[in-house]
Each structure stands twice: as structure tokens, then as C-alpha cells.
Amino acid sequence: MFSKILIANRGEIACRIIRTARRLGVRTVAVYSDADAEAQHRKLADEAVHIGPSPARESYLSGEKIIAAALATGAEAIHPGYGFLSENPDFVGAVEKAGLVFIGPSAGSIRAMGLKDAAKRLMEKAGVPVVPGYHGDNQDVGFLAVEADRIGYPVLIKASAGGGGKGMRRVERTEDFAAALESCRREAKSSFGDDKVLIEKYISSPRHIEVQVFGDSQGNTVHLFERDCSLQRRHQKVIEEAPAPGMSEAVRAAMTGAAVKAAQAVNYKGAGTIEFIADGSDSLRPDGFWFMEMNTRLQVEHPVTEAITGFDLVEWQLRVAAGEALPVTQEQIHIHGHAVEARLYAEDPAGGFLPQAGRIDHLAFGAGEGIRIDGGVIGGDTVSPFYDPMIAKVIAHGATRDAALDRLGSALGGTHIAGLATNRDFLRALSVDATFRAGRMDTGLIERDLDALLRKPEISEEVLLVAALAALEIDPQASHAEFRHWGEASRRVVLLADGESIERRVVFDEAGYRLIGGAAEARISGVSVGVPPSALPGISPSRGEIGRETASFTHSPPLRGRCREATEGGATTTGLTIAARTEQNGTSAHLTARVVITPTRVGKSVSVLLAGETFVFLHPDPLSGADAAHGGSGDILAPMTGVVRLVEVKAGDAVKAGDRLLVMEAMKMEHTLKAPRDAVVDAVLVAEGGQAEGGSVLVKLKDAADG
């Protein structure tokens, strides 16, 4: 076994590799860019080396810098993780030339499977079923059109060097083929530097099923069963599970046998995945699946395989790379229960799934039996705009598929994230989708049901009351704070949600608090206030356990009020849990809500988690006025991290106090920035559609007298 390895990656997968390496007594070296100077993988590793600026091409894609870092720190091997250089055969060659070990397959195996057309010809020779199509070298438009007619419509045009869903076009009829081919070639050239394509029969109701394979240098090859990755959006996997629903032993034997045959055809060593497309229009059939491609690396979704087999695939990678044989034979690998994984991203589903960047004010995951969290960030960290915006993977394991999905839904429902828009609610909706729960999904399910999956929960008066108490900084336990000799205490509150203003009055009397002004009234009484472990000062997930809730806390006498969670990036976040008895429309029930409050330049952001749903409000500061949107120098600053939706001025424009300059969208809410005084626009530093960090200068103003 190695004594020290370098991890040529970042984020979640780097933290995942470090966890296994530490268990095995292997020291780790992290590499990091400017953007990752405070990243968790850097802090978790035994050593860390800075390798360059934030853009990946100048840091994580620089093989020379990574190899130099390995040599300088005395690392014996390099683990590539996934993405970046993990499937670059030239990098593998350079690593080996430097006298280091690449923890993965050989350069030859990667090259053999790197181009889709060549890989499929190789698979045909090896007896692996391949989708009917044309994978040859003739790229003449007329010839390809004839081939498409021969295959039969609909067909799929795919970039030979493609991946990640890019360079793909579905064509329904002959008349549309030429235009689709031209479009596909443009995208392929731009994305991969190669406009060569292949044509395949388009499978209706396709299911994406893949098989985990593993080989060693002694010639042993095994499979660790299949994973179903059919829940996709624009060819990007969203939820994965193992084993595949509806998989019979006959189909499993045929599919896993074909996968092992494919790996043996390229003398594969290490972890790899053979991806198949299957006909999901009816029951799976032994003759109804076809080879798509091989991923010559560890997959993002490998934890579900680990959950059902009990093996650590990263440990296997290290042992095989060190020259050891596989630790078990095929007969010793069995399926135990069912596992499902959801990819939690900083992205805005309601805004077209646009990636989000900025500070995570609060991050707490739902816990429970059978739940595993593989994460790369904690509360207070920043999601960088330079890389994939994954926050974590939520993995649930249970005795049955229903049990695993129930646990996944519960864990997602208990996950509270504040500061950035995420796909948490979208994932939770998927976990309870009736078609998915019945196992009748295919790769088109999400697009067909997208409107229902994105439907927002109704904001109840109970939610508004909790948000109002937090926004007004009312301690529900400290009733003396609202004491009156007679009558009732009443305070007005304005909350913004999804760009709409909601006005209510919070009234206090001997029975508790109630909210008036809406279509219904809500009241809470018998309130207790507590602080969740994840909101305590100085408490963070333990070393090597990024994303897990490991902290515990007791306080005597009982803590009242709020507790500061962290002070990073200029913002102090507070968190609390409110438990109360509620009354609405004549009914009474118990309520438990988690609340996170973060100050912004224009007031407070209030995030409420209640009954598994997240609600985000902005409580504007009525005293801030125009000063909230500009600095003393006259610069207009971004009040929070968000997207610039509208720019209404340009350099040289004369503006009057109160004129709208631009509109930002953050946390699913629009905020208008206005001129604080009569002035002239000196410079506009943002463009429509661009991302702006909180506190950054958007527009510079100068007095008209300054010319």
C-alpha cells in the first residue's frame, strides 16, 4: 500500500478519497486553486499545494503543475477522482513517465474507450450488444443521411468525442436531418474540438442502466451489479439507484456478463462503468439492452454500489493500483437491500436550473438510519462560479426500494440550506413522484413532469408567523418584552417572497402570538426555542466527515433566543428551532420549524424549514432607504449574491434620485437598485445575465459637476 498519495481533484470527491485514505493510514496531499484557498478538501488533507488561478485550465487541468506537486511532496501515486484529468490518457502517460502511479486504468484502456465510435466497433468484435447505427469514418452529409434512412427514424446524432449530454440531436424525420447534423457538428467542435459524429437508432422510453466493473493487474475482472440512472435532465443524472427496478436475474446475468466482457476486451484495471441503454417500454429483456459507452474512472454515483455490496471502492482502487489482487471473487459479491442517491446542487430549478454561486449561510442535513452524506462544503463556505456547483450527495440505504426512497425523502425534507438557491425541493418532489416510485421511469420522465416537480408549496399563515417573529427579532419565550398594562401589543411586518410583498401584523396577547391581515389567522402558543447542533459556535462536522451532523449540545439553564452559527464572509448567521402549538381555522396542531436569519445590505434574509418545505423571505430594513444599495463612495453595490436581470443605464446617463438603475435576482427574489441621489453614471460594471457577488460594485456614480 502507498504511504502518501496526491488527489488531483477538489470538492466532494476529494473529501471522499481523503476519508478512505485516512482509514487505511495513507497520507494525502491536496491541490487547490485561488478559488479553493479555504476549501474543505484543502483543510482535510495532510498537506496542500497551491497550483494556480481559479480557472480550471490554469489549475486542476494543468497536468504539469499537479505532477510537480506530487514530486515535491513525495507522493507515490495520483488519484484523479472524476472529471478534470481522470480520463486523459496523455496525463496518465506523463504521470507514469515521472515515476508515479496513476490510480486508475492504463492509458491504452482509456484511449480504446475514449471515442464512442471506435469503442462501439471494439464492443461489436467482443460480442457486446451495440445499438443499431453507423459508427464509421465516412462523414459525408449525403452518406450519413442514407445511413439514417437505413437505421430508421427516430435517430440520434452524437458527437464521437462527446460526453455530458453535449453534441447530441434527436431527429424524427428525413427532412430535418441535415440541419440537425450541422447543429450537432458545431456544438461538438466547440465543446470537444472534434466535429465527427455517429448515428444511432433512438430508443423510445429508454432506461439508462450501468454496471460497475473492477479489474486488477493479475487478470481478474468482476462486476458489482448494476445501477439505474434513468432519472436525468438534459442527459445529466439527477437520482441514481441500485439495483435497477424490475431487473430479473436473467437480464442481470446477460447485462453483467456483457459488462465484464467489455472490460476484458481492453484489459481493464481499476474501477470502471459500462453504460447501457435499455428498452423501457415494457419489462426489461435479455435482448433489449445495448452498449453506450464506458466511463474509465470512478463514477459520481458509486456510493449506491458501496451501500448494497458493503465494499469501499476507493479502497479497492488504492489496493489495485498498488499491485494487489482484487480482495474478493465474483461469488463473494452479493446485493444487500436497495440504495438511492440524490445529487444536491447549488442551482435554481425555477430559473432554468441556472448554477448558483456565493456563500452558504447555513447547511444542515437530515439525519437518520441508513443515511450517508458525501459532501465537500459546510455552512459558511462559498460555492465558486468556476466549478461544478455540487454541494453534496445524499445517499439512502434500506431493506427495500420503498424503504430507501422513504429515507431519502425524509433526509431531504430535513435538510436546511440558506444563502443560495438549490435543487433540494426538486429532489424531494422526485423522491415521492408516483411514476418514479412505481419504477416506471425512463430518461424523459423529468422533462414530461417538470411543471409538477417545480410546483412551489403554498405559503401558509403559520409559515408567515414564524418568519415574522424571526424577522422582528421577537423571542417567543420572552413575553415580558411585549408587556402592556392594557390591550394588546401589535407590530407591522413586511416580507418579500418571490418578488411579492406580504404585509401582516403580529399581535401579542395573553394567549400567545397571532398573525392578522391575511385570509386566515394563525396563532402559536406554548412556544419553546432551541438551537440546533449545526447552529452552534465553533461546531462543525468532524474531520473527515464533511456533511455529517456529529455535534451535540446541552445547555443549562435552557437556552433562549438565538445562537450565532458562524461569522465568515462578512455575514453573521443565526439559527433557531421554534416548537409550538398552533391554531389555524379552528384546528390545533404541534409545529416545529427551523429558522435561519442572515443579514443583508437591505435587511434580513429569513429561511424557514417547516414540514419538509423551505420558504425564503426578505425582510427589508425600513430605515436603510437608499443607503442600503450604495456605499459611501457613491458606488452601487450588490446587496447579496445573485444574477443581474436588467440593466437600465449606461455610462454618461444622467439619473435622478429614485431612478431604477438595475434589477437583481437573488434567493428567488427580485430586488430593484435605485439611484440614491441626482448623479451621472460613471461606469456600469455588470451585464444582464451576469452573476454578481454580494458587496461587489455594480454601477459607479459621480456628481454632475464632476463632468
CA–CA distance, 471 with 597 (Å, rounded to integer): 8
Helix axes 313-321, 302-309, angle to 10 degrees: 100
Q: Other CB atoms closer than 10 Å to residue 285's CB: what's the count?
A: 13
What is the DSSP track for 515-557? EESSSS-EEEEEEEEE--GGGSTT--PPTT-TT--------SS
CB 358 within 8 A of CB 418: no
- Given the DSSP bridges, would you call strands 371-375 and 270-279 parallel, antiparallel or unpaired? unpaired
Beta-strand (E) ranges in 38-76?
47-50
> Cα-Cα-Cα-Cα dihedral of 231, 358, 623, 484, to 10°?
60
CA–CA distance, 475 with 462 (Å, rounded to integer): 16
Q: Shortest CA distance to 208 belongs to which of 293, 135, 151?
A: 293
Catalytic residue among 10, 19, 297, 562: 297
| R_g of the chain computed on alpha carbons | 28
Asked about 297 being catalytic, the answer comes back as: yes
- Given the DSSP bridges, would you call strands 382-383 and 358-359 parallel, antiparallel or unpaired? antiparallel
CA–CA distance, 206 with 233 (Å, rounded to integer): 13
Q: Is 295 helix (H, G, I), strand (E, B) or coil?
A: strand
Helices (H), 310-389: 313-321
Q: Is 615 helix (H, G, I), strand (E, B) or coil?
A: strand
The distance of Cα 352 from the centroid of its chain, to the nearest Å, equals 14
Q: Is 396 helix (H, G, I), strand (E, B) or coil?
A: strand
In total, the chain counts a number of residues equal to 707
Cα 361-362-367 angle, rounded to 5 deg: 165
CB 659 within 8 A of CB 675: yes
CA–CA distance, 531 with 518 (Å, rounded to integer): 30
What is the DSSP track for 621-633? -TTTGGGGGB-TT
What is the DSSP track for 127-169? T--B-SEE-SS---HHHHHHHHHHH-SSEEEEETT--TT-SEE
Q: Which residues are catalytic?
A: 297
